[in-house]
Chain A
């Protein structure tokens, strides 16, 4: 978990599959998950993801870890749907809050879909190195190049972003720990105080990200990169 944002070193059909195929697979999979309506299709999607999970040989801990990180978010989604977004007969009501059965169902369905997509995403990052992802993006964009779309720039942007993500995640973890130490173990408990401490973390993380981006863009410029560069434009003044 040190440098690759969660790549798990293993050998499985999923590890060996080309990144472009996996990227397409993720998009298609996500679309299918969004099409899930009733309990039967949901069960089918669950089974399908579970099978993929086993095939990937990544380990459930790694695949489900992002869900734990999102638990509050998921809870909020279920609660909002259950309490606000339904017009049918409430089981219970308090002011504007109306707890309804269809609302609960809807909240759970949306949460389940989110979970499934997140697990699929985790499967992609666990079986594909950032380099492979960039390569995959480049492959997928190739046909667009013929239409004059600047695919190199897009692939570079994806590549730079992808390789920044693990660094930023690692930095955030370090910052979080450092910040906690500064409070001297008076670590925030309770949702409100925890939220405040996340805000405290956001500023340094944001500052770090901006500083990194600034330094990187300067380094890229220093090495002759320009966004408007197109084939031939620099040819006249090339180095070879």
Chain B
């Protein structure tokens, strides 16, 4: 798959260059610096941007045209960057119902779905239903925006920097919901700079650099390898950074820890070994 866009200079700049990926169920993290093509990749996968070259299949059908394209669009749910900017309805209830009703669901069923999705993000529809989405706090707005996509139960869920700018409570609510979506059998793709967030949810991580996939492996293999991440200009997970610093100071820290618990276990094991 290759995609280029009209650059400021009037020339064509490749945003994605010969990217080949095949994705199954679970949570896949896409990392890369600003401008590496993460957002473009998500938009292509959502069927919102046709690639210049290459093909894309979804569920075995050509996803770029005809019936396959329609099926992709019906199955995809995209949470864009700062999704709360898209709010336009007067109440949270109507905001939540918008996508569902556009897909032909009746009001009662839509309300049920909305309520479920909000509770997955730690929010309560009964409390919020009549409030204006614009009156909520930043963290609540983001959670409502994500819930409005989760309510569609997409088979392919795409999230672009879902945790950027969130406080810890909203952040962990978002990450929990992402993890649950991945476990329910959907393919979830999370583009993020945040190695700690990806360490908490992703099974697999893909690294994009200037539109090319330069690394593709398990979350532990990549996020747990601080020197490798740094080499690619990315920030490693905090646990991995600490493990590397300890190793450099001469301590044995086995494995590739990604969380505080894993780091503690690794340190304890290292002590036992010494």
Contact = CB atoms under 8 A, between A and B. Distances in A.
A186 interface: yes
A183 interface: yes
Contact of B86 (A8, A182, A184): A182
B46 A207 contact: no
Interface in B48-83: 48-49, 69-70, 72-74, 76-78, 80-81, 83
Interface stretch (A43-51, A84-92, A145-153, A173-181): A173-181
B6 A185 contact: no
B274 interface: no
B66 to A, nearest CB: 12
Interface stretch (B98-106, B173-181, B191-199): B98-106
Given A4-B8, A181-B48, A207 B83 contact: no
Contacts of B87: 203-204, 207
Contact of A184 (B76, B80, B88): B76
Interface of B is mostly: mixed
A3 interface: yes
Interface in A139-197: 171, 174-175, 177-186
B272 interface: no
Contacts of A1: 6-8
Nearest to B7: A2
B130 to A, nearest CB: 18
Contacts, number: 71
B76 to A, nearest CB: 7
Interface centre among A1, A4, A59, A201 (most CB of B within 10 A): A1
Contacts of A208: 85
B82 to A, nearest CB: 9
A200 interface: yes
A9 B10 CA distance: 6
A204 B99 contact: no
19 contacts: A1-B7, A2-B7, A7-B8, A175-B86, A178-B78, A181-B76, A182-B86, A182-B99, A182-B149, A183-B99, A184-B73, A184-B99, A185-B72, A185-B74, A201-B88, A203-B88, A204-B85, A204-B86, A204-B87
Interface of B: 6-10, 43, 46-49, 69-70, 72-74, 76-78, 80-81, 83, 85-88, 98-99, 102-103, 134, 148-149, 152
Interface of A: 1-4, 7-10, 59, 171, 174-175, 177-186, 200-201, 203-204, 207-208
**10 A-B pairs closest in CB distance:** A185-B73, A203-B88, A178-B80, A181-B78, A9-B9, A183-B102, A2-B8, A1-B6, A182-B99, A8-B10
